[in-house]
Amino acid sequence: MDFTRRIPHFPVSFFSIVMGLVGFVIALEKAVEIIEIPGTVPLVVLVTSSVVFFSIGAVYLAKFFLHKEEIVKEFKHPIKISFFPTFSVSLLLFSIALLPFSHVLSFGVWLIGAVIHVMFTFVIMGQWIKHDRYQIEHLSPIWFIPVVGNLLIPVAGSAFVPGELLWPFFSIGLLFWIMLMTMIVYRIFFHPSLSEKIKPTMFILIAPPAIAFISYFKLTHQVDSFSRILYYFSFFLALLLLLNVRTFISKRFYLSLWAFTFPLTAVSTASALMFNVSKLAAFKYIFISFLGISGLMIVVLIYRTIKAIYLHEICQAD
């Protein structure tokens, strides 16, 4: 009975948990190559992530059939709308994580994820253009998810389709990252600070340049000056935000705390790529450091999420 009462307030942002978990799987797959951890480790985490994904999907599907009006309300919300593409981003991440295990399955998941994400991009950007309810206070790093998620499409897609078909997605993601980054920095510096609930999403700033670096490498097969700009900027942002991490943590638990995880796994994977190309030991230790930090955060957040569900701290009316 209690579970049924909470379904209407089950947020789509739960899929951000999957993003963090699958991002960690991808980083662990690099750890198999670089530090030779057992191959069963990323496989176990991948299976666990799949169970979490389908569990969240099942509950949200129940919400769709039982409380469709709540989903409509969520989609019309100027901030919550940007969380809907966490579903398609999760699929794109799964396609990357599945690539070492099944080329066919990876392609199927990639195709579905890419199509859904492009649809979200057009629909959500269409909402932005209409501009009938957006204020500067609604702008936050969450806005990166719908458009910059396009940067992920070439990462797995490079294994399936010609590169020329993937450049449009890279271009959309990269240029909108630059535009949104400018707007968000202006909003953060010159307007009231982000709410306690939204502050953890500042870590999302790390992800676009890290993913763009990996995506650009998949398209060009080289690390050039532009690649290095992307990587080192993501590395700088990661250090800056980690050094100020206390600013983004509150005593109360919010699902937005999961925003810490995926960006850190992204810069970890980017560091692994830098090591594989350059063979400089420094990148190996940077990779291991970010992998360890990501893993520790995920363990802590799993505990806090389970505790929050048990104590009814989430899935409550706003």
CATH of the domain at 45: 1.50.10.150
Band of the pLDDT at 1, cuts 50, 70, 90?
A: very low
Contact 154, 166 (CB under 8 A): yes
Whether residue 113 is contained in a domain is answered as: yes
Distance CA 290, CA 263 (A): 10
- pLDDT, tens digit, 9 for 90 and up, residues 168-180: 999 999 999 999 9
Lowest-pLDDT range of 108-112, 233-237, 269-273, 311-315 = 311-315
Residue 63 lies in a domain: yes
pLDDT reading at 93 higher than 50? yes
pLDDT tens digits for range 6-15: 888 899 999 9
Its domain, for residue 213, covers: 3-311
Inform me whether the pLDDT recorded for 56 exceeds 90: yes
In a domain, 95, yes or no: yes
Does residue 161 form part of some domain?
yes
Which residue intervals of the chain are DSSP H helices? Answer: 2-6, 15-34, 40-66, 68-76, 86-98, 103-130, 144-148, 153-157, 167-190, 207-220, 225-243, 261-278, 281-310
Burial 71-109, CB ≥16 within 10 A → b, else e:
beebeeebbbbbbbbbbbbbbbbbbbbbbbeeeeebbeb
pLDDT at 3: 63
In a domain, 317, yes or no: no
Confidence of residue 43 (pLDDT cuts 50, 70, 90): very high
Average pLDDT across the chain, whole number: 93
Rounded to whole angstroms, how far apart are CA atoms 280 and 219? 23
Tokens describing residue 36: 């030779």
The total number of structural domains in the chain stands at: 1
Is 316 part of any domain? no
pLDDT tens column, 226-258: 999 999 999 999 999 999 998 888 788 889 999
- Relative orientation angle of helices 225-243 and 261-278, to the nearest 10 degrees: 140
The answer to whether residue 318 sits within a structural domain is no
Whether residue 215 contacts residue 258, with contact meaning beta carbons closer than 8 Å, is answered with: no
Q: What's this model's pTM, rounded to 2 decimal places?
A: 0.95
Q: What pLDDT, in 10s, does the model give residues 151-165?
A: 999 999 999 999 999
**pLDDT score for 2:** 61
Nearest to 234 by CA among 248, 214, 249: 214
In a domain, 199, yes or no: yes
